[in-house]
């Protein structure tokens, strides 16, 4: 994630309350997004190739076990992160003078949290009653919690100071190391245990790389400890921790429920389908990550500036995600047939439903970040709690009866509800969204036209219809943008 100190960080004049959003600030967001997209695209591409290698090497059942273990570790990682990363982005984006004291205190604190999280994760898996094999695999994979936690501390620092190129490079490093080491293990005929250990090696490389870059940038971090600052950080980070943990539980709800009430084979099929929209979420996620420090600054300043950046981000995210969703629905069967073994074609309808939920999830990311960057944690927690409850309620209602399809429908329905609710929270407390539909008319109308073209053409033309569908979307977007141009981000906007 990149930042050039003088050009990407808003100056007082650029961010003065009551004025419109500076073009320099928006250029900084776009530039940081470019670095993030480039780094994330490369790391996700490498990671996706690695997943395909594992899917072909292991059967559907072992592949499902692998994804279940990774889900456990991701949830634990969210818990030990404890919202400290979000707090760093919020506070260090506003005041660079806090960096030395934050790093010096967070270094030992994160190690302690990682140890507590490791012990708690294994205890929960043992108490719930998973097999000894699952417990052993989790014990290996969860060793990555320690280096990953420290690596994410430096990643949050670079995000806060808008030095996005270092974060992007770190993502590439961890992906390349994991893919190369894991592939070597697979070629040598290694077991699932050894493949999970490759993730630990990659996490060590990630931590070492980002620590070296932070030192090279002149950031001081020494293993000292300030108890008063530690207590203050934990108190302030607690709402972020709860909200983020609720969010990750919500996003993994279907996989966890499938793993508990269904078979490892169904977990493998759902995981394979979910990889595609999860990868596509890269684009909106990096744009929002680049905008997060600016949103944090404007939360403390002008609501008009906050509104401008929010609407600017919404329009661009929808303009990208809608055509990707259309292409995904049309090409779902071809994608699974081309990249995965034949058994995975059973997940075609699942993949189509997940791609339908993709634009909804993208907009919800924006709303969640707006809530997280505020100084009103109760609203953020309220939104996260409602989202998780809805996700699990729908999953528990649909998955035991309808299996894989029930899981996909649960994702689509819950994302729709959560989008509406999170937007209500943003509008109720932070952003005046009057004129929102006019601002988003171009991508929404174009998406509807592209969707109509898909319905008409996909049956007779199959996968080849994707070209016509995207052409219809692009032409409609050009015409709609002429009729409903984006409002200018000026003092009057």
Per-residue pLDDT of the chain (493 residues; tens, 9 = 90+): 333 222 233 333 333 333 444 455 556 556 666 776 677 778 888 988 898 899 888 888 888 889 889 989 988 998 888 878 878 887 887 777 888 888 888 888 999 999 999 999 999 999 988 888 889 999 999 999 999 999 999 998 888 877 778 888 899 999 999 999 999 999 998 889 999 999 999 999 999 999 999 888 888 766 677 788 888 888 887 877 777 777 777 778 888 888 888 888 888 889 888 888 887 777 777 777 666 666 666 665 666 777 777 777 788 788 878 888 888 888 888 888 888 888 888 888 999 899 888 888 888 888 877 877 666 767 777 877 888 888 889 999 999 988 889 999 999 998 888 888 888 888 877 777 666 666 676 677 776 777 676 666 666 566 666 677 667 767 766 666 666 565 554 443 3
Question: How many CB atoms within 10 Å of residue 260?
Answer: 15
Q: Do residues 341 and 425 both lie within one domain?
A: yes
Strand, coil or helix: 491: coil
- Minimal CA–CA distance to 264: which of 61, 57, 55, 403? 61
> Is-contact 450 456, C-beta < 8 A?
no
User: 238, 268, 301 — which closes off a domain?
Assistant: 238
- My answer on whether 27 and 169 are in the same domain is no
CB 65 within 8 A of CB 137: yes
The answer to whether 371 touches 425, Cβ cutoff 8 Å, is yes
Q: Give the three-class secondary structure for 159.
A: helix
Task: At 265, list the tokens.
Answer: 């084979």
Indicate if 66 and 164 belong to the same structural domain: yes
Question: In the prediction, which pLDDT does 7 show?
Answer: 27
- pLDDT, position 27: 60
Q: Is residue 101 part of a domain?
A: yes
Produce one character per residue of 34-67: b if its CB has 16 or more CB atoms within 10 Å, e if not.
bbbbbbbbbbbebbbebbebbbebbebebbbbbb
Spell out the residues 6+ positions from residue 422 whose beta carbon is closer than 8 angstroms to its own. 364, 367, 368, 371, 383, 387
CB 305 within 8 A of CB 491: no
User: Cβ of 218: how many Cβ atoms within 10 Å?
Assistant: 7
Tracing tokens 């033309």 back to the chain, one arrives at: 461
Residue 49 lies in a domain: no
* Domain shared by 123 and 184, yes or no: yes
Instruction: Report yes or no: 251 and 281 within 8 Å, Cβ to Cβ.
Output: no
Both 31 and 177 in one domain: the answer is no
pTM, two decimals, is: 0.67
Q: Which two tokens stand for residue 478?
A: 């050009």
> Is 244 inside any structural domain?
no
Identify whether residues 300 and 181 lie together within a single domain. Answer: no
Output the CA–CA distances (angstroms, integers) from residue 169 to 41, 85, 209, 273, in the order listed: 11, 18, 9, 27
Q: Is residue 181 part of a domain?
A: yes
The count of structural domains within the chain is 2
Asked if residue 399 and residue 267 are part of one domain, the reply reads: yes
Structure tokens at 98: 């806090």
Q: Does residue 328 sit in the same domain as residue 204?
A: no
Report if residue 48 sits inside a domain. Answer: no
Query: What angle (nearest 5°) sits at the alpha carbon of residue 316, between those of residues 19 and 295?
Result: 40
d(CA 55, CA 35): 30
Longest Cα–Cα distance of the chain, Å, equals 68
- Whole-angstrom Cα distance, residue 146 to residue 169? 20
Residue 18 has what pLDDT? Answer: 39
- Choose the final residue of a domain: 211, 238, 265: 238
Residues 274 and 338 in one domain: yes
Instruction: Answer yes or no: is 52 within a domain.
Output: no
- Specify whether 225 is located in the same domain as 316: no
Q: Where in the sequence is the domain holding 79, given as residue range(s)?
A: 58-238
* Model pLDDT for residues 388-400, shown as the tens digit of each residue: 888 889 999 999 9
Question: Does 245 map to a domain?
Answer: no
Q: Is the dihedral of CA 105, 110, 116, 120 positive or negative?
A: positive
Asked whether residue 53 is assigned to any structural domain, the reply reads no
Residues comprising the chain, all counted: 493
**Do 431 and 290 share a structural domain?**
yes
> 226 and 262 in one domain?
no
> Rounded to whole angstroms, how far apart are CA atoms 207 and 147?
6
End position of a domain, from candidates 176, 206, 238? 238
What is the chain's percent helix, strand, coil content, to nearest 5?
A: 85, 0, 15
Q: Which helix (H) or strand (E) holds 117?
A: helix 99-128
């Amino acid at each position: 994630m990149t930042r050039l100190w003088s050009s990407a960080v808003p100056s007082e004049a650029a961010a003065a309350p009551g004025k419109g959003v500076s073009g320099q600030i928006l250029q900084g967001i776009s530039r940081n997004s470019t670095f993030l997209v480039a780094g994330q695209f490369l790391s996700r591409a490498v990671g996706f190739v690695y997943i395909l290698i594992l899917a072909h090497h292991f059967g559907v059942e072992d592949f499902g076990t692998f994804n279940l273990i990774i889900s456990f570790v991701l949830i634990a990682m969210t818990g030990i992160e404890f919202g400290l990363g979000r707090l760093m982005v919020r506070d260090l984006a506003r005041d660079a003078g806090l960096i030395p004291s934050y790093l010096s205190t967070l270094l030992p604190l994160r190690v302690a949290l990682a140890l507590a999280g490791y012990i708690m994760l294994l205890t929960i898996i043992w108490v719930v009653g998973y097999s000894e094999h699952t417990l052993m695999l989790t014990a290996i994979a969860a060793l990555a919690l320690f280096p990953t936690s420290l690596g994410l501390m430096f990643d949050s620092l670079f995000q806060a100071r808008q030095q996005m190129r270092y974060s992007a490079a770190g993502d590439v490093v961890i992906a390349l190391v994991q893919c190369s080491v894991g592939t070597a293990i697979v070629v040598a005929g290694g077991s699932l245990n050894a493949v999970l250990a490759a993730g630990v090696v990659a996490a060590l490389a990630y931590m070492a790389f980002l620590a070296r870059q932070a030192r090279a940038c002149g950031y001081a971090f020494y293993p000292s400890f300030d108890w008063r600052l530690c207590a203050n950080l934990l108190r302030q980070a607690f709402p972020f921790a709860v909200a983020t943990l609720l969010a990750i539980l919500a996003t993994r709800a279907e996989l966890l429920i499938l793993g508990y009430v269904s078979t490892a084979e169904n977990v493998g099929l759902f995981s394979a389908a979910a990889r595609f929209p999860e990868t596509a979420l890269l684009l909106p996620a990096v744009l929002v990550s680049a905008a997060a420090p600016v949103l944090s600054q404007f939360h403390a300043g002008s609501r008009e500036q906050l509104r401008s950046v929010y609407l600017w981000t919404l329009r661009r995210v929808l303009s990208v995600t809608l055509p990707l969703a259309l292409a995904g629905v049309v090409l779902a069967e071809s994608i699974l047939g081309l990249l995965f073994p034949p058994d995975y074609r059973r997940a075609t309808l699942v993949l189509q439903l997940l791609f339908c939920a993709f634009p909804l999830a993208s907009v919800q990311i924006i709303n969640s970040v707006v809530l997280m960057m505020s100084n009103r944690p109760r609203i953020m927690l309220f939104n996260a709690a409602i989202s998780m409850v809805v996700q699990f309620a729908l999953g528990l209602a649909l998955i035991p009866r309808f299996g894989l399809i029930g899981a996909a429908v649960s994702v689509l329905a819950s994302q729709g509800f959560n989008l509406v609710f999170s937007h209500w929270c943003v509008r109720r407390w932070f952003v005046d969204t009057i004129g929102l539909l006019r601002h988003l008319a171009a991508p929404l109308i174009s998406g509807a036209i592209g969707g109509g073209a898909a319905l008409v053409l996909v049956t007779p033309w199959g996968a080849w219809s994707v070209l016509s569908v995207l052409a219809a979307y692009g032409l409609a977007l050009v015409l709609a943008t002429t009729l409903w141009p984006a409002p200018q981000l000026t003092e009057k906007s």
